């Protein structure tokens, strides 16, 4: 009798604890997705924050300096009140152009070698090297451009300034090689093997297979990788800050010292710029210009790789 | 006659193939050549200045006394703050997208948004940090402002890596867990996450090694160059290794470049260690299923 009572008691207890456990489980089951969703919205908030920041401060800037003065003006000397952004844009374009001249042939050639010619063993050696190259901090590249590439180039071109677009552009180009190489190689690897085998069986050489089969088939991926690399080159900051100088010249002469959009943002933000001054707001106007440039490039890259993908 | 012509054409095609094979190979090795030049150059310039004192000293106006201690500690503290914020946010986002998110426009929007954030130049994140953390939240030029900025910067990288790791957990073991009566969250916490941890860790370490070399956004959110104390709270002023290197590089006297070289050696060694750990984790836990 006593025994029975005790048993009933403990069963009731058990049911109770079980219920409590279940309730706890149910609450966590319900609250966890809410927490996760909250975390996921942080990334959206970041984007909204970026756009909001850039827009708000730029609008303040454009109430001081007109849009036309900013985008049509050709003289950029913010400390004497001249805010024509053209020299910064040409500076950025010059660097980007030099960089892509270096990176496009070398990157695509590396991709071709890795995907079409290299044996598995060679690939296993070369790919990590490219990864290391991609992981070198940009400040190190900047140091290298200033202390090694520039003196080297000065041996060839005596008129070269200490700070110049050429050396910075070349090093930016080398920085983006791994990006073009690895993304293009992915695109070439994605071309199905039977196309390759079919062309080889018809008597084509590897080179003919590459240029007549692989590259046309992988073209969208290659172009997308190049556009993405362009966007990286436009947004690159430390190399150009260190090696290209801080003199906004409206020139396409690569031996001259120039200033890019990014380099001005650094100069403007780290100097003695006071909060709320026109120069302070001009950083954001330059920033939004840069953001729009890279955003368009990124969108274009995604669009190309989605839209023109060859499906087999 | 015809046979002769086609034979010589054949020879030409084969020769062309060989020439291009060599060209492609040379183009590929340029990266390697560049990397070795860079390393040799930096070792050459910096090794002489890399002493125990260099690791222990604070910045100084004289080359002989200049040191990197403030930068090393600053980078360490910055990473200690950045890592938990970025990893918790990143893994949570990835879990939501992979396990909970309904297939609708909003989910798709988050996904595209993460991809786009990864393409935003790092300096723009600096501007975001300057407006929000430094001025709006009135943190000033402090460690925590830098850490929050860095967390947002590497967030997309961690999200993408974590998503891949979570996606690669086989469906069978998840279904087995659900079949045994586990709830969804129990399955995720006890089955999915442990299986995905190596991938998440590898991705996170690589993302942090990017953050540790990142200079531009920290210049914007005000990491100082000359710091003579180590940070004692989240609201301290701070400096990091790349900023010190940058400040030494931009001095006109040549000997400072040797000091910068020594600084770069320290930075690269730390990066190399982080990458080695990432590779080690990847190899050790690969193909468990």
Tell me, what's the pLDDT at A137?
Answer: 93
Under 8 Å between Cβ of A227 and A300: yes
- Torsion angle, CA of A250/A256/A257/A259, rounded to 10 degrees? 30
Vertex A229: Cα angle to A211 and B31 (nearest 5): 70
How much is the mean pLDDT over chain B? 88
Q: Which tokens hold the place of A257?
A: 């010292």
What is the C-alpha separation between A292 and A234, in angstroms, rounded?
11
Per-residue burial over A84-108, b if 16 or more Cβ lie within 10 Å, else e, is bbbbbbbbbebbbbbbbebbbbbbb
> For residue B286, what pLDDT is reported?
66
pLDDT per residue as tens digits for the range B233-283 = 878 888 899 999 998 888 888 888 888 999 999 999 999 999 888 888 888
Given this model, what pLDDT does residue A252 score? 87
Q: Which CATH superfamily is domain B54-284 in?
A: MetI-like (1.10.3720.10)
CA dist., res. A266 & res. A47, Å (int): 21
Supply the ipTM of this predicted assembly.
0.89
Q: A residues 279-308 near B, CB within 8 Å? A: 283-284, 287, 290-291, 294-295, 297-299, 302
How confident is the model over A241-277, as pLDDT tens digits?
Answer: 999 988 888 888 888 889 999 999 998 887 667 788 8
> Nearest chain A Cα to B263, which residue?
A140
Residue B277 to residue B259: CA distance in whole angstroms: 28
DSSP per residue over A30-52, as a string? HHHHHHHHHHHHHHHHHHHHHHH
pLDDT, tens digit, 9 for 90 and up, residues B74-114? 999 999 999 999 999 999 999 999 999 888 888 999 998 99
| pLDDT number for residue A8 | 65
Q: What is the mean pLDDT of chain A?
A: 89
Q: What is the mean pLDDT of residues B183-198?
A: 91
Q: Which of B31, B115, B123 sits opposite A235 (nearest CB)?
A: B123
Q: Please compute the mean of the pLDDT values over residues B45-61 and round it to a whole number.
A: 80
The answer to whether residue A183 neighbours chain B at the CB level (below 8 Å) is: no
Statement: residue B288 has pLDDT above 60: no
Rounded distance between C-alpha atoms, residue A271 and residue B43, angstroms: 32
d(CA A187, CA A184): 5
What string of pLDDT tens digits covers the 312 residues of chain A? Answer: 455 666 667 888 888 888 888 888 888 888 899 999 999 999 999 999 999 999 999 999 999 888 888 888 888 888 888 888 999 999 999 999 999 999 999 999 999 999 999 998 988 888 888 888 888 999 999 999 998 999 999 999 888 888 999 999 999 999 999 999 999 999 999 999 999 999 999 999 999 999 999 999 999 999 999 999 999 999 999 999 999 988 888 888 888 889 999 999 998 887 667 788 888 899 999 999 999 999 999 889 888 888 877 666
Partner-chain residue, chosen from A139, A237, A291, that has the shortest CB–CB distance to B245: A139
Tell me if B274 sits within 8 A of B209, measured CB to CB: yes
Q: Indicate the domain borders of chain B.
A: 2-49, 54-284
Nearest CA among B241, B26, B254 for reference residue A148: B254
Check CB contact under 8 Å for B249 and A43: no
In a mutational test of the A interface, the residue from B96, B125, B135, B149 whose CB has the highest number of chain A CBs within 10 Å is B96
Total Cβ atoms within 10 A of residue B182: 17
Give the max Cα distance, chain B. Answer: 88
Contacts of B63 (CB under 8 A, 6+ apart): B49, B255, B256, B258, B259
Q: How far apart are CA A19 and CA A21, in angstroms?
A: 5
What is the C-alpha to C-alpha distance for residues B126 and A50, in angstroms, rounded to an integer? 10
Q: Which pLDDT does position A145 carry in this prediction?
A: 92
User: What distance in Å separates residue B62's CA from the closest CA in chain A?
Assistant: 20
Which residue from A182, A181, A192, A183 is spatially nearest to A311, judged by alpha carbons? A192
């Amino acid at each position: 009798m006593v025994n029975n009572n005790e048993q009933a008691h403990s069963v009731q207890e058990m049911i109770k604890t079980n219920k409590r456990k279940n309730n706890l489980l149910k609450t966590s089951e319900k609250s966890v997705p809410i927490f996760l969703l909250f975390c996921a919205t942080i990334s959206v908030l970041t984007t909204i924050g970026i756009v909001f920041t850039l827009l708000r401060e730029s609008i303040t800037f454009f109430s001081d300096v007109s849009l036309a003065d900013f985008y049509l003006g050709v003289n950029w000397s913010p400390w004497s009140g001249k805010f024509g952004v053209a020299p910064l844009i040409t500076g950025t374009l010059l660097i980007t152009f030099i960089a892509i001249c270096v990176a496009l042939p070398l990157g695509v050639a590396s991709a071709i070698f890795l995907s079409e010619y290299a044996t598995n063993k060679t690939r296993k050696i070369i790919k990590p090297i490219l990864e290391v190259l991609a992981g070198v901090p940009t400040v190190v590249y900047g140091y290298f451009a200033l202390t090694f590439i520039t003196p080297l180039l000065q041996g060839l071109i005596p008129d070269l300034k200490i700070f110049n677009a050429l050396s910075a552009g070349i090093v930016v180009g080398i920085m983006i090689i791994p990006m073009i190489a690895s993304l293009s190689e992915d695109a070439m690897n994605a071309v199905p093997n039977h196309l390759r085998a079919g062309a080889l069986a018809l008597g084509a050489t590897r080179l003919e297979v590459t240029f007549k089969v692989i590259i046309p088939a992988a073209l969208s991926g290659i172009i997308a990788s190049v556009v993405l690399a362009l966007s990286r080159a436009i947004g690159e900051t430390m190399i150009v800050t260190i090696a290209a100088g801080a003199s906004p010249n409206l020139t396409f002469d690569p031996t001259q010292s120039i200033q890019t959009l990014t380099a001005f943002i650094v100069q403007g933000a780290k100097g003695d710029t006071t909060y709320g001054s026109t120069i302070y707001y001009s950083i954001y106007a330059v920033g939004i210009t840069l953001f729009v440039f890279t955003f368009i490039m990124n969108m274009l890259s995604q669009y190309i790789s989605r839209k023109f993908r060859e499906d087999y | 006659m015809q046979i002769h012509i086609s034979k010589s054409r054949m020879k030409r095609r084969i020769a062309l193939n060989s020439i291009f094979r060599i060209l492609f190979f040379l183009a590929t090795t340029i990266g390697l050549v560049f990397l070795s030049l860079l390393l040799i150059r930096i070792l050459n310039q910096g090794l002489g200045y890399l002493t125990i004192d260099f690791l222990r000293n604070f910045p100084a106006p004289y080359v002989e006394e200049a040191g990197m201690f403030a930068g090393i500690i600053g980078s360490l503290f910055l990473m200690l703050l950045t890592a938990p914020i970025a990893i918790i946010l990143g893994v949570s986002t990835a879990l939501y997208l992979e396990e909970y998110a309904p297939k609708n426009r909003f989910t798709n929007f988050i996904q595209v948004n993460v991809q786009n954030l990864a393409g935003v130049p790092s300096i723009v994140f600096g501007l975001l940090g300057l407006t929000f953390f430094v001025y709006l939240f009135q943190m000033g030029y402090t460690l925590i402002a830098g850490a929050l900025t860095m967390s947002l910067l590497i967030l997309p990288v961690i999200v993408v890596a974590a998503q891949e790791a979570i996606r690669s957990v086989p469906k069978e073991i998840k279904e087995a867990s659900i079949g045994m009566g586990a709830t969804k969250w129990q399955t995720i916490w006890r089955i999915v996450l442990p299986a995905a941890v190596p991938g998440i860790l590898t991705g996170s370490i690589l993302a942090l090694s990017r953050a540790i070399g990142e200079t531009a956004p920290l210049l914007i959110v005000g990491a100082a160059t000359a710091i003579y104390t180590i940070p004692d709270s989240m609201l301290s002023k701070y400096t990091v290794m790349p900023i010190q290197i940058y400040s030494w590089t931009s001095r006109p006297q040549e000997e400072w470049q040797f000091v910068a070289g020594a600084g770069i050696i320290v930075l690269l060694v730390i990066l190399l260690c982080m990458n080695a750990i990432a590779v080690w984790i990847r190899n050790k836990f690969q193909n468990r299923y």
